[in-house]
Amino acid sequence: MSKEKKHFETEAVRTQSGTTQYSEHSVPLYLTSGFVFDDAEEMRASFAEEKQRDLYSRYSNPNVNEFVDKVCKMEGAESGFAFASGMAAVFSTFATFLNAGDHVVSCSSVFGATHGLFTKYFPKWNIECSYFNINEVETVERLIKPNTKFIYAETPTNPGVDVLDLEFLSTICKRHNLLLVIDNCFATPYLQNPIKYGADLVIHSATKLMDGQGRVLGGITVGSKALIREIYLFSRLTGPAMSPFNAWVLSKSLETLAIRVEKHCENAIKLAEYLEKHPKVKWVKYPFLKSHPKYDIAKKQMRLGGNIVAFEVEGGLEGGRNFFDNIKMCSLSANLGDSRTIVTHPASTTHAKVEPEVKASAGITDGMVRCSLGLEHIDDIIADIEQALNS
Ligand SMILES: *Cc1c(COP(=O)(O)O)cnc(C)c1O
């Protein structure tokens, strides 16, 4: 087999687990909890890790391995481990490396559940977290302490679609001997590869654009062989592994990731440009709009701008509620990265429990709408949003 690196789309389609005696074209579902051995020696050697093979699906499984291989190729990573959900990936990555007394520096704009982990559970393990404001990355270095282990961030951020300079964060991490951990969920590996800019570990919620059709949960962490080995050892004991069924679905989803994400992004920039001209819209944020404060950084590290557009409707909370009540086609949901366009009101849903100062520093205002562009025709998406804005 040739190890020559092929294009993204080709790897996504052609990376497959081996064929069985039936010579199937499409990879079957290996719905099995365990695997059998030929004899006592094979069993011993397998458990001693002298022989590389699947033992038990809490450790590995052919469908899960295929999903992991694809994402590693897409991210330019040596190794990875797949989880039952994005949060299982986030939590297991932290739990593997953090000890009592450690400190994490995190961007204040992170996924709500990740923020909940920092505030509700880190304190009971005596792990401390300091936050930097997305618009003041120059303050990051001042937050670093002797016990700091990680810098953690998402870019583009949720829900404000702010952009962080990965190269800058990686320079700081190298200077202070810290790990840079990036949740790359909003960008997907098609749009952005944080490892190329110096990240040590990259996390994804596969539930979002990787599946892209709102069907299954999944998560993955990729990075160097040595770091992923630690995550693997923690995970094979604690059991957050991805199910073979979800891996089978997700591996097939990845075959169409590039073509889907292209279309999501094309719809997103068209909506963003439309909203910029609408009199009832106070502001619009999208990484590939020239008006985005970090447009140059987005252009440097992203292939396209992503599928999330954030904007503020006139009239604060009242205006926001009115907009959502008048939406006819788009889905009102807290999810994102689906083939269906979704509109969300972060102030009253995903970020309702976040402290006001953190909310403000994450740029979440009362009338803010987060739109996850789907794959419907853009004219129909704009027509729905237009009638909701005008009613
Ligand atoms: C959804 C999401 C998660 C969590 O993923 P689940 O699969 O829902 O557990 C983590 N980070 C980001 C940025 C997300 O959007």
CATH number of the domain that residue 214 is part of: 3.40.640.10
Check pocket membership of 87 for ligand 1, CB cut-off 6 A: yes
Q: Same domain, yes or no, for 331 and 359?
A: yes
Check pocket membership of 219 for ligand 1, CB cut-off 6 A: yes
Q: Same domain, yes or no, for 313 and 247?
A: no
- Of 232, 255, 278, the one marking the end of a domain is 255
| Residue closest by Cα to atom 11 of ligand 1 | 111
**Is position 3 within any domain?**
no
Q: Same domain, yes or no, for 337 and 231?
A: no
Which contacts qualify for 132-139: CB closer than 8 Å, 24 or more apart? 132/105, 132/106, 132/107, 132/108, 133/108, 133/361, 134/107, 134/108, 134/109, 134/160, 134/162, 134/164, 134/361, 134/362, 134/363, 135/162, 135/293, 137/164, 137/165, 137/168, 137/169
**Is position 2 within any domain?**
no
Query: Residue 80 Cα, ligand 1 centroid: separation in angstroms?
Result: 17
Q: Same domain, yes or no, for 220 and 343?
A: no
**Is position 191 within any domain?**
yes
Q: How many domains does the chain have?
A: 2
Query: Residue 42 Cα, ligand 1 centroid: separation in angstroms?
Result: 39
In degrees, rounded to 5, the angle at the alpha carbon of residue 86 between the alpha carbons of residues 82 and 87 is 115
Q: What does the mean pLDDT of the chain come to? A: 94
Q: Select the more confidently predicted residue: 103 or 159.
A: 103
Give the pLDDT of residue 223. 98
Q: In the numeric block, which tokens belong to residue 125?
A: 């393990």
Q: Same domain, yes or no, for 265 and 239?
A: no
Q: Contact at 8 Å (CB) between 212 and 373?
A: no
Give the pLDDT of residue 317. 82
Q: Contact at 8 Å (CB) between 154 and 165?
A: no
**Is position 368 within any domain?**
yes
| Residue closest by Cα to atom 6 of ligand 1 | 86
Q: Select the more confidently predicted residue: 2 or 58.
A: 58
Residue to probe by mutation, ligand 1, list 85, 87, 182, 201, most atoms within 8 Å of CB: 87
Query: Residue 209 Cα, ligand 1 centroid: separation in angstroms?
Result: 11
Average pLDDT over residues 267-276: 98
Tell me: pLDDT of 108 over 90: no
Q: Same domain, yes or no, for 241 and 288?
A: no
Q: Select the more confidently predicted residue: 29 or 353.
A: 29
Percent of the chain with pLDDT over 90: 84
Give the nearest ligand 1 atom to 185 CA: 13
Give the pLDDT of residue 1. 43
Query: Residue 321 Cα, ligand 1 centroid: separation in angstroms?
Result: 25
Give the pLDDT of residue 3. 60
For residue range 179-218, what is the model confidence (pLDDT) as tens digits? 999 999 999 999 999 999 999 999 999 999 999 999 999 9
Average pLDDT over residues 276-304: 97
Give the pLDDT of residue 349. 80
| Residue closest by Cα to atom 8 of ligand 1 | 86
Domain that includes residue 371, residue range:
257-390
Give the pLDDT of residue 249. 98
Tell me: pLDDT of 351 over 90: no
Average pLDDT over residues 57-67: 97
Tell me: pLDDT of 253 over 60: yes
